[in-house]
Structure 1
């Protein structure tokens, strides 16, 4: 074992080499499950799919994209052939978080999403009872996916540097501006301006934030 005294007098090239080797030592080998999940979309090689995370995609492979160094511990699902989910680099998706798209969800870079967050760009079911009855038959009797033709949906956009607190809900059509913070347990049904702190149900603006 080389002592720390050696590194204090070592050549800068050796120091850079040491740093690189330590980085490689930190790289965790992928599992078969993780390799299989990566086939669901255009997943950057440096993305970490943790054991509690899952990916599902009913659209073309390139319609589910996750950028470099993002950590996925939640559930990311593209629910229809026309839907898409785009997640940027250096993001965190916490455990028990659900990001479900029937239309489209775009998440920027450096976005932190805590545990138990729901991000849903659709109503999940029709507002009409007769159509919900058919959905139930599809799911439980016919064992087929829900037909989203009668389900209301609108795209969600979450810009760079947003922080979403635990057990918040982001509903269809919402646009959250850069650097905004959504406090834990907030129900977001309308747009949030950039660098704004919001909280509550119904959501209210708490204050503006420094860029």
Structure 2
């Protein structure tokens, strides 16, 4: 089910697929989804919820998997991937495709006022707390504290000198 606010700005070149399995995709007021963004319900039955005034820039891919919740006023730079799903691969006797998916690690939660830099990958089980900054080319698969900066080096609090 697609539920897109009349107050959202979705590029005609964005690709938002409806679910064939009941996944909800909910896009709130003031959301901007740029050209060549792909939102695909696949790999689970989680919903994708995008909060008010969030911007998702060109080339981003969001898979529904085990669910994605994005808060308000989140900035996601170009070419980011949000993939709340993991393929199973333990058996050598069965192809990875046939093994399907691992159990959920909780989906992806991105709280309000977060900035995610270009080319970042956010995986199942990631929690990015309010006000955090994720530097370009980052991989997030765990919890990032509120108002911290993750730039591929030790995480620091916003305003803290290095």
More strand by share: 2
TM-score, length basis structure 1: 0.67
Q: Deviations over 1:117-151 (max 9, x none)?
A: 0111012x32134132537xxxxxxxxxxxx4x33
5+ long unaligned stretches in structure 2: none
1:177 Cα offset (Å): 0.4
TM-score, length basis structure 2: 0.85
- Residues 68-77 or 48-57, more deviating: 48-57
**RMSD of aligned residue pairs (Cα, Å):** 1.9
CA distance in 1, matches of 2:43, 2:63: 10
1:41 aligns with 2:2: yes
Aligned to 1:141: none
5+ long unaligned stretches in structure 1: 1-39, 136-147
Distance 1:208 1:44, change over 3 A: same
Aligned to 2:88: 126
Equivalenced residues, count: 153
Q: Residues 39-188 of structure 1: matches in 2 within 5 Å?
A: 41-58=2-19, 59-60=21-22, 63-73=24-34, 74-79=37-42, 82-123=45-86, 125-128=87-90, 129=92, 130-132=94-96, 134=98, 148=100, 150-154=101-105, 155-188=107-140
CA distance in 1, matches of 2:62, 2:154: 23
**Which protein has the larger Cα radius of gyration, Structure 1 or Structure 2?**
1
1:48 Cα offset (Å): 1.3
CA distance in 2, matches of 1:127, 1:134: 9
Aligned to 1:17: none
Distance 1:189 1:197, change over 3 A: same
